[in-house]
A = this chain, B = another copy of it.
């Protein structure tokens, strides 16, 4: 096992020993590196009583390195990959979580908001690039028709302007935001609180498939991990810190979605709230959030959101959606289609599907992805290679290296 592989394995093992976000573990990793931190914890050397018992309890259930190795294999079979700070695609902005301190913390989980040690990712985009120009749209699961309409419009409008729409994959507002982005042919990222092999909720399975197809499914938890209640809260800090801003669409009083917006406020991201009828229970939390957080902006639509995030977006690098990088992550079907395209001129979808050995539905889906990656263009009723692009042969699928 290479030193790199050992470090990756250690990060996975550490995330299994203690939940993501645990401050003391993050600080140890910062100081000692993941391998020495793992050794320390396995030797019973936790500097913290609580962590000591947590680790001991975990270890009673298995060997940390073996569990981690199995998780990596499982991810490989799943077509998912591990992303760590050593990888080029690591989203650097999540490091801001290191200084996040929520006020009035009463639950341990609200205090353990350290940056992630690693991500599991499914989908063709480099994670960091996908999150570079991203906005979170979150809200109530028991959303009203009004809220879902607004979230869909926001998802669509943001995606249309080349912003990645990030949410939690839940019913209601989250799903509506993802769907809006997908309908616009845009990029959407679902940050989950469980293993990528069992995206929760099951009722959104088809949606998760669509997201993985053109966007990303992301989680801090290894394959097999259950969507335990506190994990949603732990996950929320990633949605908040991974994006430029968070839009809260509907939230009942004391809703979990307001916790994401709260984490956005305290990591100095733009927190935005869509108001609603004061007669709607599903807007109570949204209005309270606006009243309680003076820096929060009231937004009524995509124009307002763009106004807010655009200000920050202007300071960012221009959307790094170049043709080279994504090619590294294309799957076999997409590459077959690229090879089936004529060097000059266009070819119809049916002909392309036949040449690539694919059914027409798959071919269309992949062509739409390639089109979004600016690798192909629609022309003369078919598709053609985009002018300056030389498809680059990368690894067929990106796995947990």
Chain A interface residues toward B at CB < 8 A: 146, 149-150, 274-279, 283-284, 287, 290-291, 294, 297-298, 300-301, 304
| Nearest CB of chain B from residue A292's CB, rounded to whole Å | 10
Known: A279-B146, A279-B149, A279-B150. A300 touches B274 (CB 8 A): no
CB <8 Å contact, B277 and A277: yes
B298 contacts A298, CB within 8 Å?
yes
The answer to whether B287 touches A291, judged by C-beta atoms less than 8 angstroms apart, is: no
Q: A275-B275, A275-B278, A278-B275 are in contact. Are A291 and B284 (CB under 8 A)?
A: no
Interface of A is mostly: mixed
In the A-B complex, the 8 residue pairs with the smallest Cβ-Cβ separation, listed nearest first, are A275-B275, A278-B300, A287-B300, A290-B298, A277-B277, A291-B298, A146-B277, A276-B277
A314 shortest CB reach to chain B, Å: 20
Check if B274 sits within 8 Å of A276, measured CB to CB.
Answer: no
Q: Which chain B positions have C-beta within 8 A of A150?
A: 278-279
Interface centre among A146, A277, A279, A291, by most B CB within 10 Å? A277
Interfacial chain B residues near A298, Cβ < 8 Å: 275, 287, 290-291, 298
Interfacial chain B residues near A279, Cβ < 8 Å: 146, 149-150
Measured CB to CB, the closest approach of chain B to A355, in angstroms, equals: 47
Query: Which of B274, B284, B287, B297 meets A278, CB within 8 Å?
Result: B274
A294 nearest in chain B by CB position: B294
Q: Which chain B residue lies CB-closest to A276?
A: B277
CA distance A304 to B284 in the complex (A): 12
* A262 to B380 CA separation, bound complex (whole angstroms): 57
Which chain B residues lie closer than 8 Å to A284 at the CB level? Answer: 300
Report chain B residues within 8 Å CB of A300: 278, 284, 287
A149: chain B residues at CB < 8 Å are: 279
**Cα-based distance from A287 to B149 in the complex (angstroms):** 18
Decide if B301 touches A291 in the complex (CB within 8 Å): no
Known A-B contacts: A150-B278, A275-B275, A275-B298. Give 6 more (CB < 8 A): A146-B279, A275-B290, A276-B277, A276-B278, A278-B301, A291-B297
Residues of B within 8 A of A290 (CB): 275, 298
CA distance in complex: A276, B298 (Å): 12
- Note all chain B residues with C-beta closer than 8 A to A274: 278
Cβ contacts A to B, 22 pairs, < 8 Å: A146-B277, A146-B279, A149-B279, A150-B278, A275-B275, A275-B276, A275-B283, A275-B287, A275-B290, A276-B276, A276-B277, A276-B278, A277-B277, A278-B300, A278-B301, A287-B300, A290-B298, A291-B297, A291-B298, A291-B304, A294-B294, A298-B298
User: CA of A142 to CA of B146 in the docked complex: distance in angstroms?
Assistant: 21
Neighbouring B residues of A294 by C-beta, 8 Å? 294
Assembled-state Cα–Cα distance A301/B288 (Å): 12
Q: How far is the CA of A278 from the CA of B298 in the complex (A)?
A: 10
Q: Please, which residue of chain B has its CB at the minimum distance from the CB of A275?
A: B275
- Chain B nearest CB: distance from A341 CB in Å? 43
B residues within 8 A CB of A276?
275-278
